[in-house]
Chains A and B, each alone.
Chain A
Amino acid sequence: DTEVTQTPKHLVMGMTNKKSLKCEQHMGHRAMYWYKQKAKKPPELMFVYSYEKLSINESVPSRFSPECPNSSLLNLHLHALQPEDSALYLCASSQNLAGVRTGELFFGEGSRLTVL
């Protein structure tokens, strides 16, 4: 069982819609991540939050807006997306940024996004 919970599991939205993806962990981790994964491709890092502050933004378009309201929650707000943004969006967490080195990166099951 994963300890990183993502909702919704599936989301279909139009290009003019505004929606949000949510991620929650209760392991006391202080680093949280958003990855984007296209079919048959590896995950690509989008954002990293460390102690609720944005640490890394991998030049992601502004139509993706992350938010970390507290240490357990991570949101990804979506607005005016394009069909090519359709992908599996994975949330992950680690004890802290340095904790990643020991491989303690826990992934959620992902939110499958389809943009029409």
Chain B
Amino acid sequence: AQSVTQPDIHITVSEGASLELRCNYSYGATPYLFWYVQSPGQGLQLLLKYFSGDTLVQGIKGFEAEFKRSQSSFNLRKPSVHWSDAAEYFCAVINTGNQFYFGTGTSLTVIP
């Protein structure tokens, strides 16, 4: 069965520091992988997606993610975090039935 795991429930980083949010997937074939961000009280916004090609994917707001098949991972990175990046981040995979499976999310706090 398809699934994604986000091992970190909560992460705190200082503004200007680098960020890496972890995502591991379980999927038989090449997965369709996504990262979404949700600000408090808001809907979800797509940051980036991967389904083929270059394993380093660039997204919006300065985020990038790298697909590593050998590690079944799709970690999200940002070189320098801004206070406005504080939010909930969800990794997601799509199954053969075109249904999204979301990870449990990682809550990011940014301290001045």
Contacts and interface: CB of A to CB of B under 8 A. Distances in A.
Given A40-B105, A103-B49, A110 B34 contact: no
A84 to B, nearest CB: 19
Contacts of B49: 102-103
Contact of A101 (B41, B44, B94, B105): B94
Interface residues of B, number: 21
Contact of B102 (A4, A43, A88): A43
A26 interface: no
| Chief secondary structure at chain A's binding surface | mixed
Contacts of A103: 32, 34, 46, 49
Nearest to B43: A107
A90 B43 contact: yes
A82 to B, nearest CB: 23
A12 interface: no
A40 B107 contact: yes
A111 to B, nearest CB: 10
Interface in B41-94: 41-46, 49, 51, 88, 90, 94
A80 interface: no
A31 to B, nearest CB: 9
Q: How large is the interface on A (under 10, 10 to 19, 20 to 34, 35 or more residues)?
A: 20 to 34
Contacts of A40: 88, 105, 107
Nearest to B105: A42
A102 B51 contact: yes
Interface in A22-76: 40-43, 45, 48, 56
Given A56-B99, A100-B94, A108 B51 contact: no
Given A101-B32, A105-B46, 14 more contacts: A2-B43, A40-B107, A41-B105, A42-B103, A43-B90, A43-B102, A45-B99, A45-B100, A88-B41, A98-B98, A103-B34, A108-B43, A109-B42, A109-B43
Interface of A: 2, 4, 40-43, 45, 48, 56, 88, 90, 92, 97-98, 100-103, 105, 107-110, 112
9 contacts: A2-B43, A41-B105, A42-B102, A43-B44, A43-B102, A92-B43, A100-B94, A100-B98, A103-B32
